[in-house]
């Protein structure tokens, strides 16, 4: 996130979400779920998408009653080709929300936790496994430590140990790429408030192509990283031109002389991965459980809860408590930030062992940006926000309801219920 100036400028963004004019009924369902007003077209008329405003979040896609909205990016065949190339190590970076959703694509009960079967299916397909929960643990250590640095700077005037600038409060989370893009395009004055920590996906890609070269005994140019995400915006995130950290590091270490490569080569959504398995004749529901014996599959519960709204905040509270007090939190469940309320708030008072004083941190958790983000942003911009740390996830309930998750076709959803109303067109 440090090189914002290198990111996409107006007119350069590849449109990842589009609308089929032949299928669109102009029902406005997509507009209700768009945080930026990127959907164009009047009620009853064919709609379109302004790619410069679009966050690639995919909420319009999963909310469209007529399957008119679709992804323009399809990397399934590219991944399969790399899986069949024995000179390449294909590393699958699996997000936590995928394991409780992909089973639906194979006839399993909605919400089934299929971690073992997912690992087994990926092994059978030829993937190396780097669980994104591992990288989520890295993220929260960075993000939590940064919050402490900002708080100590604000309260005690503490300077940075390495001389880098300390950002202002409130600190805003940076793991949701749709939210980060919202800040950049809608309220760029808030960019300094964003955590400098990359998302778990981008940390994982960097780790895979640096430390991972020793694990898989391959140069980074022969490691093909695949984000496996519940989120269409992760495809946009992986394409951002500033995310070439592994290449830049390897070049400085004289390990790389070839052309630059991205930290994450491609991203597959949950739906994409299901299609990949089916193309490769792999039935996830019938696969035996598998547990990979690798450091990259080790993770804590804090990493796992990243997939739900409030999960990042809860993990941050645990980290801040341990660092500030020098003790582990006795009850690791921080329930005030759980649940599906649009905006949740809480306060926690911790004794800073370094300074011998109590520090109260005010927290906020926001999800479903289309409905809930504006008042929070307006307060921060006006300098009136009561919060020190704000977690934001674009999608309702967080990543678990991302734009890349399975779409319910059972007829029980509101989408299916209103479909007959538009049968005239």
Active-site residue list: 143, 146, 175, 195, 234, 237, 242, 399
End-to-end CA distance of the chain: 45
Sign of CA pseudo-dihedral 167, 168, 171, 176: negative
Pairing between strand 343-352 and 17-19?
A: unpaired
How many Cβ atoms from other residues are within 10 Å of residue 234's Cβ? 30
Residue among 401, 395, 90, 404 at smallest CA distance from 275: 404
Length of the chain: 425
What is the distance between the alpha carbons of residues 27 and 29, in angstroms, rounded to a whole number?
Answer: 6
Which residue matches tokens 């109303």?
421
Q: Angle 40-376-54 (CA atoms, 0-180°, nearest 5)? A: 25
DSSP single-letter state for residue 153: H
Which of 395, 396, 394 lies closest to 186, judged by CA? Answer: 394
Calculate the CA 333 to chain-centre distance: 22
* CB neighbour list of residue 41: distance below 8 Å, 6 or more residues apart: 24, 26, 47, 48
Task: Return the closest-CA partner of residue 125 out of 228, 275, 268, 276.
Answer: 276
Residue with tokens 């709609």: 47
């Amino acid at each position: 996130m440090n090189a914002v100036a290198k990111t996409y400028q107006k007119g350069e963004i590849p449109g990842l979400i589009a609308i089929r004019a032949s299928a669109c009924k102009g029902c406005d369902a997509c507009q209700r779920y768009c945080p930026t007003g990127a959907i164009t077209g009047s009620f009853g008329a064919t709609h379109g998408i302004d790619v410069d405003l679009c966050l690639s979040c995919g909420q319009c896609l999963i909310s469209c009653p007529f399957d008119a909205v679709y992804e323009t990016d399809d990397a399934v065949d590219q991944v399969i080709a790399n899986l069949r190339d024995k000179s390449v190590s294909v590393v699958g970076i699996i997000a936590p929300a995928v394991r409780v959703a992909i089973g639906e694509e194979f006839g399993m009960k909605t919400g089934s936790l299929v971690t073992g079967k997912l690992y087994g299916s990926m092994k059978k397909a030829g993937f190396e496994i780097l669980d994104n929960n591992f990288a989520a643990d890295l993220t929260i250590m960075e993000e939590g430590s940064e919050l402490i640095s900002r708080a100590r700077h604000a309260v005690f005037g503490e300077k940075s140990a390495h001389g880098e600038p300390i950002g202002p409060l409130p600190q805003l989370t940076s793991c949701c790429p749709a939210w980060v893009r919202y800040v950049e395009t809608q309220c760029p004055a808030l960019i300094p408030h964003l955590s400098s920590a990359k998302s778990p996906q981008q940390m994982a890609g960097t780790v895979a192509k640096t430390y991972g070269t020793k694990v898989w005994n391959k140069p980074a140019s022969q490691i093909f990283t695949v984000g496996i995400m519940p989120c269409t915006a992760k495809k946009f995130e992986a394409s951002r031109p500033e995310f070439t950290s592994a290449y830049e590091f390897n070049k400085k270490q004289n390990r790389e002389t070839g052309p630059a490569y991205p930290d994450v080569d491609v991203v597959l959504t949950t739906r994409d991965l299901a299609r990949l398995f089916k193309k490769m004749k792999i039935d996830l529901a019938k696969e035996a459980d598998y547990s990979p014996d690798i450091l990259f599959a080790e993770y804590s519960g804090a990493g796992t809860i990243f997939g739900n709204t409030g999960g990042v905040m809860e993990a941050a509270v645990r980290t801040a408590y341990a660092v500030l007090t020098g003790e582990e939190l006795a009850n690791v469940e921080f329930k005030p930030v759980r649940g599906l309320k649009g905006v949740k708030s809480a306060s926690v008072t911790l004794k800073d062992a370094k300074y011998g004083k109590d520090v109260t941190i005010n927290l906020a958790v926001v999800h479903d940006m289309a409905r809930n983000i504006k008042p929070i942003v307006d307060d921060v911009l006006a300098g009136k926000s009561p919060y020190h740390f704000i977690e934001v996830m674009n999608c309702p309930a967080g990543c678990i309801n991302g734009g890349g998750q399975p779409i319910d076709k059972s007829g029980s959803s509101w989408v299916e219920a209103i479909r007959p109303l538009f049968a005239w067109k």
